[in-house]
Structure 1
Amino acid sequence: MNLGGPLLLVGCGKMGGALLEGWLSQGIAPADVWIVEPNAEPLQGFIARGVHHAPDAAGLPGDLKPALIVFAVKPQMLAAALPAYKAFAEAGAAALSIAAGWRIAGFEEALGAQTPVVRAMPNTPAAVGRGMTVLCANDKADAKLQEVCGELLSAVGETAWVDDEGLIDAVTAVSGGGPAYVFLLIECLAKAGVEAGLPEDLAMQCARVTVAGAGELVHIASEPASTLRENVTSPGGTTLEALKILMAEDGLQPLMTRAIAAATARSKELG
C-alpha cells in the first residue's frame, strides 16, 4: 500500500486502534505513522513498535508533511480539532474521516474547499477484523486516493462505496448501529429462554453461541440469508412455529423497518 507519505491518525481510541492494528498487519511501516492522542498510556504497544506519538497537533514536527490525515476522534470533538490541521491540508494532505454525522462539506469548510475528502462509516466489528465500512468521496478525491482509503478500511473488514453521501445516513442506521441490534437480539433470546424455563446462564450461553455461529455460517455461505433460514425450518416443526410469529404482519420486519427509519432520521439531524 503506497500512501505517498506519512499517515497522521488523529484519535486512537477503540476504533482508531483497531484500524491502526489492521494497517500495521497489512504492512504499513510503523515509522510512517503519527498518532495524535492526549493519553499515551494505551498506545505504548504501538509506540514500542515504532509508531510516532504526539499529545496534540502542536506537538507534531514542524516539517511533517502527511499524505493523509485520518480523523478518528469523537464527532463532538471535531469542530475544535479540525482548525489545527488546516495547514497540513493546504500543504497537500488529504482527509479520511470515520466520524459519524460529519458531512464532507464540514471538512471542506474547515480544511479548505480544495481538500480531497473521503468519508467512511465503519462499525465496531472492525475490532476483530470483521467490520463493514461504506465510503464516499468528494470530487477532489481522485481514483488513487479512493483506492488507498478503500485498502485502509479493508484491513479491518469488508468495504463498499456509494456516490450519494445521503446514503451514509441509512448505512449508519443499518451497519453502524447494527451490532447493537444483534446484541439486543442475544439479550432478548436469552430472556425468552429463561421465561421458557432455562437457567439464566444456560439461556445466555445458548443465545450467544447460536448468534455467533449463525453469523459465521452466513459469513462463509454463498447462499442468501433467506435460503439459510429455509434450510433450518422443517415443515411442521418448532422453528416454523416461531417464525410464524416473527414473520407476521406485526412481527420483526416492520419493527426493524421502523427502527432503521428512526436511526436514519437521527443521523440526518446530527449531520
Structure 2
Amino acid sequence: MLMGYPASELAWLALLIIAGGAVTGVLAGLFGIGGGGIIVPVLYEVFGLIHVPDDLRMQLCIGTSLAVIVPTTIRSYLAHKKKGAVIPEVMRLWSVFAVIAVVIGSWIASFAPGAVFKVAFVVFTIFISIKMLFIGDRWNVSNRLPGPALVALYGFIMGLVSSLVGVSGGAVSNAMLTLHGQPMQRAVATSAGIGVPITVVGAIGYAIAGWPHLAQLPPLSLGFISVIGFVLMAPVSSYTATYGVRLAHALPRRYLEIGFGLFLLAVSARFVLTLV
C-alpha cells in the first residue's frame, strides 16, 4: 500500500506511465515534438487518482512533462543533428527568446489557478489537431525564412506556449518553419533542437515555482515535478526516440497524423468537461 492505494492499482498506474513514455519517445523522433500532448493527459489522470488538489494538478503535470521530455529532446536532437538538418541561425535566435518566455511562463505557474493551464492546453491541442487532420504541411506563406525580428517573435511564442502546456515547442516550431517553406526534415530537426533549452529551463522553473506548495503535493515531488513520474517515464521515452527518427525518414506519416489528431481532440474534450 502507498498513500492508501493497493499494489495492484499502483502497478497499473506504473504500466500506464511506461506505455505513455514509449509513445512519447516515438512521437518526439517522428514529429520533432517532446510528447507533452500525451504525457500531460496521462499524468492528469494518474495524479487525479492520488487526489492531487485540482488547483495544482495541471502545474504538476506540466512540470513533470517538461522534466520527462528533457532526455527525450536531447536524444532526438542529437540523432537529427547527425543528419545535418538543423538550421543554425534559427536555433541561435530561438534559444534566446524562447528561454526568456519559459522563465515568464514558469513564474505564472507559481500563482495562476489550474484553469489557466487547462484552457491553454485545450487551445494548443485543438490547434495541433486541426493542423494534423486538415492542413498538414500543405500551407505556406513564403518560400524562405523571415527576418530576425519575426524569427525571434516565433521563438518567444514557442517558449511561452511550451511553458504553459508542458511541451517542448516542436509542434509549434514545425508549423512555423513549414509555413515558411522549410523541408519537413529540417523543420523536425530544428524543432527537436529548440526543445532542449525550453525543457531544461522549464523544468527548473517549475521546480522552483512549486516549492511553496510542497505541503499540498504528493511525496517525492520536487516543486511541480513528480520524481516518480520522471523516473518511470523519462528512460522509456528517451530510449524509444530513435525509433521515431527512423520512422520520420522512412515512412509516410498520414495515418499517424490522423490518429494523433483524433487523440488530441479527445483530450481537449476531456479538459473542457473539467472546466464546466
TM-score category by the smaller chain? under 0.3
Q: Which structure features the higher share of helix residues?
A: 2
Q: Which protein shows a greater Rg?
A: 1
The alignment's TM-score, normalised by the length of structure 1, stands at 0.26
Q: Which structure features the higher share of strand residues?
A: 1
The alignment's TM-score, normalised by the length of structure 2, stands at 0.25
